[in-house]
Amino acid sequence: MTPFSIRHLLLLTAAVLLLPSAAPDIVSDRAALVALRSAVGGRVLLWNLSSPTPCAWPGVNCSPDNSSVVELHLPGMGLSGQLPPKTFSNMTNLQTLSLRYNALSGPLPPDLFTSLTSLRNLYLQHNFFTGEIPETLFSLTSLVRVNLAENNFSGPISPSFNNLTRLGTLYLQSNQFSGPIPDLNFPNLVQFDVSNNNLTGPIPSGLSAKPKSSFLGNSLCGNPVNACSNIKPKKKLSGGAIAGIIIGSVIAFFLILLLVFCLCRVLARKNVRSKDQAVANVKEVEVPAEKTAESGGEGKDGGSSLFAAAIGGAKEKDIGEGDLNGGGKKGLVFFGKTGWNIELEDLLRASAEVLGKGTFGTAYKAVLETGLAVAVKRLRDVTMAEKEFRKKMEEIGSLDHQNLVPLRAYYYNGDEKLLVYEYLPMGSLSALLHGNKGASRTPLNWETRAAIALGAARGISYLHSQGSAISHGNIKSSNILLTRSYEARVSDFGLAQLAGPNATPNRVAGYRAPEVTDPHRVSQKADVYSFGVLLLELLTGKAPTHTLVNEEGVDLPRWVQSVVREEWTAEVFDLELLRYQNVEEDMVQLLQLAVDCTAQYPDKRPSMDEVVIKIEELCRSSSQEPSGDAVEVLDEPQLI
């Protein structure tokens, strides 16, 4: 062989050796996925097995050159059974593995993570996995997010978690982990939760800055829960002590019954005397409303009258005889055809209960003798002159839209200003999102949240259409009221301009646009920002003024944007929303809209008309039924 031929042969051999061997990687990855499909039960994975490459299979994402599988997303697919050994054998390029919201069970195979050396994101939450966490997990030093919540994992939490130095999220809540929490030190840890396990002992100092909710449902002590000195060792009671406790409890029970019986008799006699005295007062002389409040102010249901609750501090000269007659401008001034045949005296004598204290005053539910329930807001710190105030009320009263809570009547005199609205018994969006967190809570599904967002957007868009200078100025979840069919009604519109300089609405700090310096002068673009925060609240389930991130000085929009930049978008969504399949694309689109609304600069935010159009498109998309098993279910979608 000539030297020339030998040289060419050597070059050819080197070139072959240096060429990337893509085929073996994708072939082995395909074989591992086919083995997984054959091993698990439940819904059949709709993969075209005749295809030589898995890159087009639903839930499978490959590298740009299709040389290997880098992401496997199979959430909510109804998968069941146990993962077999060597499930993901040789998938060394896999970066994201999501099997969340399935019915997979049994222990994780010890070799499950042996080959997953590139894994960054592991989502196994909401399955039925048991046993301890395999030690092979702790060799995956590239892991950034680990979510094993809502399973039946048991045993101790391994100190080997410290090997995962890049970990930013560790969710282990609602399992059966026992023993103490090891001294974990994660320099990049942002999200941590071990609540609702069987953990005992002190909380390590490295985790003491985490929220209290991250440790509840265990027998732990130390910051941020109870101090360890407050937890005393339990002593076993003797039989005699137990018998004494039982006898004492029985005696105490009967004594309490006797005491309650005596109190009821006394209160019954006192009530009869009070009613007799009230009847006598009415017969003898017509008592002004303020006297009634001073003498007890009881409504027909035994509660405080609205007059006692709201006007009790007013001077007699402020409530004159003309006021109680409801005539002219001295009494209630009505808007529209309400069908209400009530006068100011009826309103002030109604039984009342406090609904809440808002930015501009206290709201009451008033029930009249006829059974009609109305909502009454007593304004505070209003320094506006009477003529100007009445003109403003005429403007507010003329606004009429199905997604607004209309102003039905108002009262002005002296230091007292009352606004009368229809009463909506379902309360506010804030109460529904953040009020009841117990087992009896009825979660708001995606369709309901989207419909609420659309209704609120339409109401605000209508306000903006009345003039370029007209804005709401106080958009927040507690001002979105709901009908019995969960239709949104925007309240408190037009009131921001009424409050005096001392009435700083600090309650809306989490919703306020960054350019707003005077809370009484809010532009329509600032309304858009506040509405964007409201959308984030709907999607994340977090209250803008009480989120965990706020404790570190980060508001809700910036927190969401930081999460999105890190490419783990699904972590921002409320867990209650993640239960619903086939809507994650719509959720991401609404999240993108919320991010657009909360842009730092006002001219980069959309108008409310544009917001309405986009939400209407999303609601139409969500109302279309999915086409069965052929619908691809995505996980951790990314913002465009």
Do the Cβ atoms of 345 and 403 come closer than 8 Å? no
Contact 594, 539 (CB under 8 A): yes
Whether 220 contacts 212, CB under 8 Å: no
Measured CA to CA, the distance from residue 72 to residue 97 in angstroms comes to: 5
* Cβ(343)–Cβ(324) below 8 Å: yes
Q: Say how many residues make up the chain.
A: 640
Full DSSP string of 249-274: HHHHHHHHHHHHHHHHHHHHHHHHHH
Q: Do the beta carbons of residue 69 and residue 91 sit within 8 Å?
A: yes
At which residue do the structure tokens 């909510």 appear? 76
Triad 144, 150, 154: Cα angle to 5°: 90
Binding residues for ATP: 377
- H-run or E-run covering 11: helix 3-18
Cβ atoms 593, 535 nearer than 8 A? yes
Q: In what order do the strands lie in the sheet with 373-379?
A: 333-334, 407-413, 416-422, 373-379, 361-367, 351-357
Tokens at residue 479, please? 């001002």
Distance of alpha carbon 561 from alpha carbon 221, whole angstroms = 34
Are residues 124 and 100 in contact, defined by beta-carbon separation less than 8 angstroms?
Answer: yes
For 585, phi then psi, to 5°, come to: -65, -40
Write out the E strands in 436-502. Answer: 480-482, 488-490
The Cα 144–Cα 533 span in angstroms is 27
DSSP assignment of 574-616 equals -TTGGGSTT-HHHHHHHHHHHHHHT-SSGGGSPPHHHHHHHHH
CB 111 within 8 A of CB 135: no
DSSP 197-220: SEEEEEPPGGGTTS-GGGT-SSEE
Amino acid at 420: V
Judge whether 377 and 421 are in contact, CB under 8 Å: yes
CA 319 to chain centre: 44
Angle at CA 212, nearest 5°, toward 160 and 210? 50
User: Known binding site: residues?
Assistant: 377
CA dist 62 and 635 (Å) reads 15
Helices 446-465 + 608-623 axis angle, to 10:
150
Residue 394, number of CB atoms within 10 A of its CB: 13
Q: Are 404 and 416 in contact (CB under 8 A)?
A: no
CA angle 618, 621, 623 (to 5 degrees): 110
Token couple for 270: 């006192």
